[in-house]
Amino acid sequence: MRYLLPLALAALSATASFAQNSITDAQLAKFRQESAASPADRALNNAVALNGLKSVGQSANNSAYDTHFSNEVKSQGITDQQKSGRCWLFSGLNVLRAKMIQRYNLGTFTFSQNYLFFYDQLEKSNLFLQAVIDSASLPMNSRYVDWLFKNPISDGGTFCGVADLVMKYGLVPSEVMPETYCANNTSVYARLISLKLREYGLKLREMAKKSSKAQLEAEKGQQLGTIYKMLVRCFGLPPQKFTWTLRDSKGNAVSTKEYTPKSFYKEYLGQDLGSDYAMFMNDPTRPYYQTFQIDMDRHTYDGHNWTFVNIPMEDLKQMAIQSIKDSTMMYMSCDVGKELDSKLGFEDSDNFCYADLLGTTFPMTKRERIQTYASGSSHAMTLMAVDLDAQGKPQKWMVENSWGKDYGYKGHIIMTDRWFDDYVFRLVVNRKYVPAKLLKLYQQKPQMLPAWDPLFAPEE
């Protein structure tokens, strides 16, 4: 009994503290008085309630919108990732596709996203299962193991996945392994393969208590065999050999040959994607001119973690301008949904007057938005145009998107330079456009960032 009185007093003290800090009747009365609506306010309240903030808050005329660009890399045909999170794959392949079209004077041409996605999902399954084995000594509620089981696999990713997968498995034209319904609609498939991987992960953790390394590897091999069968069912069997006819822009046959996926890539592109491209970030929450790496942010167990140099936006823009002037597209990613006029495919800070509509302000900086989880990179696209003024300063940019030809401006999105400053995060650029002082930074030992860093969620 002697312990009950202190506990009761503590409970009463906590209750009193909660009451002291709760919303009071006096506060509510004050709020109601301050919110007394004029006739104009009542009309505006009704408009917002019936039509929504985005509809009522949209600017009637934004003079910043136009479709002229001083420098533009021409593209051939817009791709469509449909209801999947494969923007990273479409964007990376669009960069390579543009190079192949330009080099061989092709008409509309695409690489098979489905082919590379098959191996992406197989490799990510192996990455998860092996990580479970490697971390079997850690408790289930450790941050690392908790993250693993929350994220066994995804259809999102980054350019490092494109690089590792292409170099390991090659490429095939889209007609050799076409898209399937499951590739275009990944939600059900993703739920089921995640469920299977979690089941397998628990089994491997249990086995690790009493099994040898060889036994664990044998079990993992059997598990991957089942995953492979699931992938074949959903996406088809990847080709080992195929015959393909190279045709020019007029449809005339130039050559017909038999290829493997790797020999096809070697003959038509042949770049070492792991060493020819450099990845940069504009993250004002971290020091500039330093190199970082994201733990477990890779697509294959034997691949490369996402490694980048953090730089000011002006440095990033200069490389982008040089690349576009040389007719070379780039992989980029951004917070695509912010201030987006989806009908026009136009992104600008003045597209919506939400602050005026709600009688407040939204003054947070890019740094503050990142720190508070208000903004982060969510979508990858292919940067392919810039509009420069007479002094060479960028006024706006354009990307080739992967949401189909009817979205936005003929399948593209246009963004003003101020929006670019606020919401663009990542750029992958051919090293020949990178200043020597920035390339030298890749010689630094990267600072490792945790896999669960919110700014490095897979782009979808």
Asked if residue 21 is part of any domain, the answer here is: no
Asked if residue 15 is part of any domain, the answer here is: no
The residues annotated with a catalytic role in the active site are: 87, 379, 401
- Report pTM: 0.92
Asked if residue 7 is part of any domain, the answer here is: no
Cβ-based burial of 105 (10 A; exposed 0-12, middle 13-18, buried ≥19): exposed
The CATH number assigned to the domain holding 411 equals 3.90.70.10
Asked if residue 3 is part of any domain, the answer here is: no
Which residues, in sequence order, are CB contacts of 65 under 8 Å at separation 6+? 344, 346, 348, 414
Length in residues, the chain: 460
φ and ψ at residue 397, rounded to 5 degrees: -135, 160
Angstrom CA distances, 249 to 76, 244, 252, 384, stand at: 10, 16, 8, 21
Q: Look up the domain containing 395 and give its range.
A: 71-456
CA atoms 84, 88, 92, 98: torsion sign: positive
In angstroms, rounded to a whole number, what is the distance separating the alpha carbons of residues 87 and 378? 10
In angstroms, rounded to a whole number, what is the distance separating the alpha carbons of residues 238 and 223? 19
How does pLDDT run along the chain (460 residues), one tens digit per residue? Answer: 555 666 665 655 655 566 789 999 999 999 999 888 888 888 888 999 999 999 998 988 777 899 999 999 988 899 999 999 999 999 999 999 999 999 999 988 999 999 999 999 999 999 999 999 999 999 999 999 999 999 999 999 999 999 999 999 999 999 999 999 999 999 999 999 999 999 999 999 999 999 999 999 999 999 999 999 999 999 999 999 999 999 998 899 999 999 999 999 999 999 999 899 999 999 999 999 999 999 888 889 898 888 999 999 999 999 999 999 999 999 999 999 999 999 999 999 999 999 999 989 999 999 999 999 999 999 999 999 999 999 999 999 999 999 999 999 999 999 999 999 999 999 999 999 999 999 999 999 999 999 888 777 777 7
Q: Given phi > 0 = left and psi -120 to 50 = alpha, else beta, which region is 364? A: beta
Asked if residue 356 is part of any domain, the answer here is: yes
Asked if residue 9 is part of any domain, the answer here is: no
Q: What Rg do the C-alpha atoms of the chain give, in angstroms?
A: 26
Asked if residue 105 is part of any domain, the answer here is: yes
In angstroms, rounded to a whole number, what is the distance separating the alpha carbons of residues 453 and 443? 23
In angstroms, rounded to a whole number, what is the distance separating the alpha carbons of residues 167 and 160? 11
Closest CA to 459 of 274, 352, 299, 313: 299
Q: How far is CA 360 from the centre of its chain?
A: 31
Closest CA to 396 of 409, 415, 381, 410: 415
Number of independent structural domains in the chain: 1
In angstroms, rounded to a whole number, what is the distance separating the alpha carbons of residues 134 and 129? 9
CB of 177 within 8 A of CB of 115?
Answer: yes
Asked if residue 36 is part of any domain, the answer here is: no
Residue 103, SS3?
helix
Closest CA to 421 of 313, 327, 321: 313
